Structures are given as structure tokens and as C-alpha cells.
Amino acid sequence: MRSIAAGWTRRMFGKRLHSLRNRLLNRTSKRKKSWLRRVLFESLENRQLMTASAWLDPIPDLPDAGANAPVRFPWIGTGGNFFGPREKVWIDSVTPTVEGGEPGSIRIARSNSQPPLEVTFNILSNSTAQKNIDYLEPKSIVVFEPGQSYVDVPIIAIDDAIPEATESVRFVLWDTSRIGTWTPPDIASLLISDNDQASRTTVLELLPPVDGYEGHQEGKLRARRSGSTERALQAPFEASFGSGLVDALDVRLNPKHWNSESQTGFFYFAAGESLASVSVQVLDDSEAENTEWMEIRLLPSSSGEYLLGGKPQQTLRVLDNDSRSGKTPADAPGVKHVSLSNDTGSSPSDRVTWDERLEVAIDGKLLDGRLQTEFDWSGDFIPEFSYWVDQSPSSFALDPREIEPRLAEVLGTRVVRYRANWYTADDVLIQQSPWEDFTYQVVEKPDSGPLRLSDLRLKVDTGNPTDRITSVPSVVVSILGQYPKSESELSTIRIEWDQTNDGRADHSVLLGMDQRSVEFDPRTLDPAFARIPGPRTLRVRLVDGTTQEPLGSWETLELTIPNTPILPWIVAEITHRP
């Protein structure tokens, strides 16, 4: 009985002790997790790892990167946070500008001026000033050199003769090249004032349209008015469809603002609004097409409500999405092929010439546009020469030495890159072809310089051409340079051959006037020349037949006659004849 009670007591107390132990462990684990969470949050407080996020709250009184912070934990670092010194980049100040005046600027500053840094910014679409119409578009990447604490981005206003209200360019910082750099999402506005005489007269102008893209993006026609905006205004425009673009089949303009029968529409400006637009729906099909376009022109007011200003015509492009899937339109205008005007090689495919002139062939449908061809010889993909083409098919000649005279002094392999840019009549880029290569070999001009021999070689080489192994020792040599003039119009130049390796001529032939190559077979003098295997030496030189003076030294060719295997007699066939 005592033993039973003792066992029950041990079981009861064992369960209680085990339960108490688990509680203590869980509490300790929670304390550890809470402590670790507190460490991380305290080390990362005021730390913004996502740049230019609109949902982040601004950080008040952010310390400089070099400021000393109390060291809470030795493994976190002296900057007071887990990732090192904190850094802030912000728009420090904005300098407005006026048409025809000094450029404006936005100053971008940073708290840590030591490391290099790149910062990007965006110009918001709700800016009232239009890029490349009211101001020149700046580069969106700002580069900080080491030790540089701020950079001024210039904004240059475009001076025009249209009276306009003061317009704004709205900026926001977007991203940086260093993780952990904080860019506040504050928006800054730079004002562009007008220098034309204030007028109540309303002036209308077309803005560059938003291009349409099959399956991705609708197009948009845009217009702007300046002067008085108190009343609503309706401004008519007309459109012409070119390059195969068909209204209601390829695109559909907003029917509220467009009449398909008359091919006219109108922009509607609400009271107080200076911008108006007409949406263009792009219909997606499965046919590979070239980039197509439509041209828009504002019509003058019959009642004198407004005047026309700015560019009188704009072009909306419709980009195709089927060519990216492997389909290619067959009638796209471009460079069909490039060839040498004078190919001196054994075949046109060798592309060997002393005359660098090129023939460029153009093909495809230009429609109402024109083609700009670009050429690059330096390999930096920056064109050294461009040529405009107004007709297709057509061709033109091109001499690289006229474009870059230094090319005439360089022999060897030449690579020219070329591409074609297709423009509308208003110089709107429709599409651009990729760069293509044309490689050719430039050799010496055969009739320039002193008379000389070149390229002594075997006619038949049974091994690697550099080994010069052959069982047929016939050779050929090229003659370059200018033949001396003769009153009889006959050549006085002789060519001498040495096949016995004694430095004396074994064979001599008088050349014809302007002869450019000579063949020689040493077996004509010695039938046993190729019977015995082993090395052989052939020499050749030119001699003036009048003075008997050599025109240069011997040209030498070392060749090898291979050991021809002797095959035993074998029975090839047995036949039976009755």
C-alpha cells in the first residue's frame, strides 16, 4: 500500500513539475522573441528601404550620415542602425525661369557626400508645361561624384511667340543607386513664366499625341489653349490616314468627338481647362504590319474665337505587336543589301577590293514618308554618315574614303554597320531597323605605286594552305604597281624564275603591258621536279629589260612534295566470257 501511494505521488508531482518547466520555457522563449524584435525595430527605426514610396511618412530631424549615435549594441555599428550610416537625398531648392531668360534649376542635395551616387527623378504627367514644347527635357539621372553634396539640374525654357499663362514642371525623386538611401516623396514644382505680351486672345496648339500600341495602349490626340480659359471651347480638327491605316478597322476615335464620314472631329475644352484630348482605340489583329500613322491638323475658327499657334500638324503612330512574335511585314522600307562596287576577289562572296566604294540598294514601300540610312565604320554605333532616300526601290553609291580620309591609309578587314530610319513627311520617326554588318577586305590598288610582286602562292595545295604541301608545284604571282611608259606601247619588264635554289634565273618571260598575274610550272623545265618527295624552293623577281636591273629582291616560296603512296596490284573484277 505504501509503495502504491509513493508511485502515485511521484506521478502527480512529476506532471506538475513537467508543466511548470514548460511554462518557464515558453515564457523565456517569448521574452527572447520580444527582445530580438525590439532590437531589430530599434536599430531600423526611421530607416526607409523603399525609395520614393508614397505611403511612407516623412522622417523628422534625420541626422547626418556622419553624426555620432549612442552605441546600444556593439554588433550593430556606430551609425546607430543595422545597415550602417543613414543617408537622405532630397530636392533642396527650385529656381524658376522665364521664356528667353536664364535657365531655371532644381537642386538635389544629399546628407552623405562621401560615396558616389546616382539619383533618378520623374517629371509628373500632370505638369502643365509640356516637354520639348515649353522646355527642353533634362536627363532623368543625376550623378553625384565623391565629395559632391548637391547637383543643380538645369531646366531651359523654350521661347515662343504665343501668350501663355505661367506653367509648371512637377518633379519627384524616384530611386537611388545605393540601398538604404531615403528619398522623400515630396513633389517640387518649377514655374516657367511667359515673356509675351499678356493677351485675352485664345491661342490653340497641337501637342504631341500619345502613340497607340496594339494590345497594350490606346492612343490619344492632345491640344492646348492659352489666353482666356473662362468659357468652354470646341475646336475642330481634320485627320488623314496613311500607310495602310484604316479608320474603324485599325483604329476607332471617340465617337463623341469624331465623324467618320467627314473625317473631322473636335477638341472640347471645358471652362477653366487648358488641355483637351480625344482617345483613339487601337484594334488588335493577328496580321504582321509596319508601324502605321495618322496626321492631325487643327482647323481655324470661323468665328474668330481663337488663333492657331505652335506646330500646325502632329502625327499619331500605331505600333504593331505581331512582328514581335516572329512575324515580319514583307513591305517594310529599308536597306535591301550592301555590295562592293568593284570586287577584285575570285568571287563576289569573298568581298575583296582595293576600291572601297559601296552600292546600297533600297527596297520597300515608303508611302508618304522618307528613309534615312545611317553608316558606322568606327564600331561605336554612332553614325559617321547618313543619306536620305525619297524613292523606293532605288540605290546610291557611297565612298567611305570621302567620309573618313584616314581609311584610305589602312588595309585589311573593314566592317561597316548600317541601319534605316523611316520617317513621315513631318519627320516623325515611324520605325528603326536594327544595325546590320557588312564585312569586306581592303587590299592594295594594283596599278598604284612602283611595280612589284605580291602574293606568290600555289595553285593547288593539298594540305593546309599555310603548310604549302602539294603534288602539283604550279604557282601564280600577282603584279602590282605602275608599268613604266614606253614609246612602242610594249612592255620592257621581264619576270625571272629560279627553281634550282642557286640565285640565278632558270626561266625568263617578257610580260605584257599591264599584265597583273603570271603562272609558272617548274616541271616544264624539269619533269622530275615533283617525282622525288621533299622540300623545294621557288624564287621570282622582276627585271627591267632595258637596263637589266632587278626591280626589287627575290620573292621566295618554300613548298613540300609529299611522299606518294605506292599501291600494290589487286584484282578488281573477274568476269567470265563464254
Inter-CA distances, 49 with 83, 144, 169, 370, Å = 10, 20, 27, 50
Centroid of chain to Cα 215: 25
- SS3 string of 125-171? CCCCCCECCCECCCCCEEEECCCCCEEEEEECECCCCCCCCCEEEEE
| Beta bridge mates, 239 | 296
* pTM of the entire predicted model: 0.47
The 97-98 sheet, strands edge to edge? 97-98, 187-193, 167-176, 117-123, 141-144
Enumerate residues 6+ apart whose C-beta is below 8 A from 332. 290, 364, 365, 422, 431, 433
468: nearest Cα among 358, 559, 381: 559
DSSP run (H or E) holding 377 = none
Angle at 496 between CA 490 and CA 502, to 5 degrees: 165
CA distance 372 to 420: 6
The Cβ of residue 210 has, within 10 Å, a number of other Cβ atoms equal to: 17
Residue ranges of domains in the chain, CATH in brackets = 46-198 (2.60.40.2030), 203-325 (2.60.40.2030), 334-442 (2.60.40.10), 452-561 (2.60.40.10)
Amino acid at 139: K
pLDDT tens for the 578 residues of the chain, in order: 444 444 544 445 454 555 555 555 555 544 444 444 443 333 333 333 333 333 233 333 333 333 333 333 333 333 444 444 468 999 999 999 998 889 999 999 999 888 889 999 999 877 888 888 889 989 888 999 999 999 999 999 988 767 677 888 999 998 888 877 888 888 999 999 887 765 567 888 888 888 888 878 889 999 988 877 888 999 999 998 876 788 888 888 989 999 988 999 999 999 988 889 999 998 887 776 777 888 899 999 888 888 888 777 888 888 877 665 545 556 778 899 898 888 776 666 778 887 888 999 998 888 778 899 999 888 878 888 899 998 888 999 988 888 877 776 678 888 899 999 988 877 788 888 889 999 988 877 766 778 888 889 888 877 676 778 888 899 999 888 888 877 777 888 999 999 998 888 999 999 988 888 899 999 999 988 988 889 999 999 999 888 888 988 899 999 998 887 655 666 667 777 66
CA distance 48 to 179: 10
Strand, helix or coil for residue 463: coil
CA distance 571 to 262: 94
The Cβ of residue 53 has, within 10 Å, a number of other Cβ atoms equal to: 12
Asked if residues 432 and 421 have their Cβ atoms less than 8 Å apart, the reply is yes
The 258-259 sheet, strands edge to edge? 212-213, 313-319, 292-298, 233-242, 264-269, 258-259
Centroid of chain to Cα 159: 32
